[in-house]
Chain A
């Protein structure tokens, strides 16, 4: 009886996953195979001809190979800002969890404020202009780090609490300096939550649309999400090219997700109980 119920439950779960995740993806793939006339119907139908390569070629070549620039820029932004995020957030989380001072309350309030208060665009641009960082990739990286740091810190802080303090003390007795303790003992132990951070933040930053739109003007600075606007506009949209573009830029996050999938769940729940 219970066995049948669990089979039924499993089947239901698979069916739901199929409807929610797989069908939209199939729709994207089908649309990418169509020509412009058929794609304008936006129905769930078999393509009348094989147009994928034409579509891909056109998408990649549009606006002077903008897609290539965009992939390079997005990769740089994502890799550098996620690296910085992991290092900074792990450091802050470690210190916050280990060292209790009377400033902790204030610091935690500021971290929460960073999560809750929405950033204002125009003053941020003024600040960037003052620092000569506006419209540059490193300026954009700093913005991504700043906006996403609070979330990463909270993940790390909860996880550091599960690492026994004895390990730090043993390392110190063996002669490790503070930086050694952090980089050689603690950071490797944080690996599960680091993977979670890498996956969640890199997908988020890779898919970021509004921040590059406002903070990173200029053709040379295009990021992948902005290339979508080459094919979609208020009054006329080339759906075949739009969906081909979506297909192309969905692949990198999908790969990240497939490779790290198992570790994400572990990392998410790792710090959940004790904190």
Chain B
């Protein structure tokens, strides 16, 4: 114990000396604990980073601990922060969940760390509180849109749709050919939200200040035609009977399998599903493409994006300097290269200087144009506004199963949102 402390201290002071002297890579030493969520990609990348880091700093020992995701994971993170038993580095969501772990009280600010210079501002904004930045990007950005089965498109001679009408025409052609046009998986209710959430780029294209007005209780889903379109799109697809027969009982895992193997043509989903396809049905990875949810006009075709999870350092970390150095390593071009090597590319990185390998899956290369020059993208509503009603998924299952109309559902969701906004103590509610 005494020895590790001395070593850590020694490492820290050496680092300090070297940093003041020059930008020479400091050799770190000591013992570092990391808590990571149990997504297979998270574990694999974290282990790869730990190996790469200890290869450069042989005196460092890294211990990776795994926690569950979802609600149980939230409890673990909050419990361990509250009791001061958190690991030196841990991964957690950015955006609204990040705000819920009380960052100003529990986390160490990373605002002035040199690596932040190359992190994109759009990412910094979702891991900031009270003017301080607390996180470093842990994964590439994600897009919300529609995964499609390429063999079906080739067989029927279809084009990737740029407008909603083209999308519906494709669906009709797929249905005529006796295949399933759209996959829905309501056993995992969260999957029902994609048609509405990934439509947010189209909302912003027409109503650029929707997020601010929505937070201030001045704009509503039910009374803003552009915002209502997301609900209507789900309703249109449901009414045209384009869903798979077992959409009420199918699970997310089924949906991923179906779009990969061609049991269905379209699956509205976030691009992290590419990772699940790569693991479960690797032979079909090249059969899945991706496009943004089409809007009503071809000119404003863009992608709704989700920010990746982040790495944080708790305020009472046992070896803070080592923790910061490790985080800086992860958020560097070198760290991205290690990730590419370990799990492949799943999307564009949030760190300047990070490159994607040449042989990315088609679904990833389909996503890249939206992030490059001339492409258009916008963050999802949950990164622009703290207001998100907890019952959206259930409401949208009602729309998908045809038991509630789009207008009715939007109005009900506006009501659902009110409770959450009042709990947050926002003005104007």
Query: A73-81, A120-128, A257-265: which lies at the B interface?
Result: A120-128
Stretch touching chain A among B24-32, B65-73, B383-391 = B65-73
Residue of A nearest to B80 (CB): A217
B267 to chain A, nearest CB (A): 14
- A37 to chain B: which residues have CB within 8 Å? 280-281
Given contacts A125-B85, A135-B85, A230-B38, contact A236 B280 (CB under 8 A): yes
Query: Smallest Cβ distance from A135 to chain B, in angstroms?
Result: 7
Interface string of A217-255 (1 = CB under 8 A from B): 111000000000110111111100000000000000000
Q: How far is the CA of A36 from the CA of B43 in the complex (A)?
A: 18
A63 at the interface (CB under 8 A from B): yes
- Of the listed residues B37, B41, B66, B84, the one surrounded by the most CB atoms of chain A closer than 10 A to its CB is B66
Please name all residues of chain A whose beta carbon is closer than 8 Å to the beta carbon of B64 when the two chains form the complex: 219
Chain A: minimal CB distance from B300 (Å): 30
Residues of B within 8 A of A217 (CB): 65, 80, 85
In the assembled complex, A214 has its CB within 8 A of some CB on chain B:
yes
List which A119-147 residues lie within 8 A (CB) of chain B: 121-122, 125-126, 129, 134-135
A235 and B66 form a contact (CB under 8 A): no
B42 to chain A: closest CB distance in Å? Answer: 8
Known: A125-B79, A219-B64. A236 touches B85 (CB 8 A): no
Asked whether any CB of chain A lies closer than 8 Å to the CB of B252, the reply is yes
- B66 lies within 8 A of A236 (CB): no
Interface contact B83-A233, CB-CB below 8 Å? no
Q: Is A107 an interface residue (CB 8 A)?
A: no
Inter-chain contacts of A121 with B (CB < 8 A): 79
Q: Is the CB of B279 within 8 A of A122?
A: no
B82 within 8 A of partner (CB) = yes
A residues bordering B, Cβ < 8 Å?
Answer: 36-37, 40-42, 63, 121-122, 125-126, 129, 134-135, 213-214, 217-219, 229-230, 232-238
Contact A122 B79 (CB under 8 A): yes
Q: What residues of chain B lie closer than 8 Å to A238, measured between beta carbons?
A: 40, 279
A36 to B83, Cβ gap below 8 A? no
Which residue of chain A has the shortest Cβ distance to B71 in the bound complex?
A234
**Are A230 and B65 in contact, with the CB atoms below 8 A?**
no
Interface size on B, residues (CB 8 A): 34
- With contacts A214-B76, A235-B273 known, what are 8 further pairs, Cβ within 8 A? A40-B280, A218-B33, A218-B65, A230-B38, A230-B43, A235-B69, A235-B276, A237-B253
Chain A residues within an 8 Å CB radius of B39: 233-236
Cβ contact within 8 Å between A234 and B253: no
B270-306 to A contact mask, C-beta < 8 Å, 1/0: 0011011001110000000000000000000000000
In the bound complex, CA of A196 to CA of B21 (Å): 70
| Interface check B63, CB cutoff 8 A | yes
Q: How far is the CA of A126 from the CA of B83 in the complex (A)?
A: 7
Asked if residues A134 and B85 are in contact (CB atoms below 8 Å), the reply is yes
* CB <8 Å contact, A233 and B68: yes
Q: Which of A42, A125, A213, A233 contacts B40 (CB 8 A)?
A: A233
Point out the residues of chain B lying under 8 angstroms from A122, CB to CB: 79, 82-83
Question: Is B85 within 8 A of A233, CB to CB?
Answer: no
Q: Which 4 A-B pairs have the closest CB atoms?
A: A234-B69, A125-B83, A236-B276, A233-B38
Beta-carbon nearest neighbor of A237 in chain B: B253
A237 CB contacts on chain B under 8 angstroms: 253
Is B79 a contact of A36 with CB atoms below 8 Å? no
Instruction: Tell me, yes or no, whether B257 is within 8 Å of chain A by CB.
Output: yes
Interface residues of B in 40-98 (CB under 8 A from A): 40-41, 43, 63-70, 72, 75-76, 79-80, 82-85
Please give, as numbers and ranges, the residues of chain B lying within 8 Å of A232 by CB-CB distance: 38
Could you tell me the distance between the alpha carbons of A134 and B43 in the complex, rounded to whole angstroms?
25
Within the complex, what minimum Cβ distance (angstroms) separates B185 from chain A?
Answer: 12
Q: Are B280 and A36 neighbours in the complex by a CB distance under 8 Å?
A: yes
Q: For the complex, what is the distance from the CA of A274 to the CA of B209, rounded to whole Å?
A: 74
Q: A214 contacts B69, CB within 8 Å? A: no
Provide the residues of chain A in CB contact with B63, threshold 8 Å: 218-219
Whether the Cβ atoms of A234 and B70 lie closer than 8 Å is yes
The answer to whether B252 touches A235 (Cβ under 8 A) is: yes
**Are A219's CB and B65's CB within 8 A?**
yes
Residues of B within 8 A of A214 (CB): 75-76, 79
Collect the chain A residues with CB atoms within 8 Å of residue B66's CB: 63, 229-230
- Report the bound CA distance from A275 to B129 in whole Å: 61
Encode B133-171 as 1/0 by CB contact (under 8 A) with A: 000000000000000000000000000000000000000
* Contact across chains for B257 and A40 when beta carbons are under 8 A apart: yes
**Complex formed: what's the CA distance from A233 to B309 in Å?**
15
Give the residue name and chain of the B residue nearest to A227 (CB). B66
How many Å lie between the Cα of A236 and that of B279 in the bound state?
9
Residue ID in chain A nearest B86 by CB atoms: A217
* List of A residues within 8 angstroms of B257 by Cβ: 40-41
Closest A residue to B84 by beta carbon equals A129
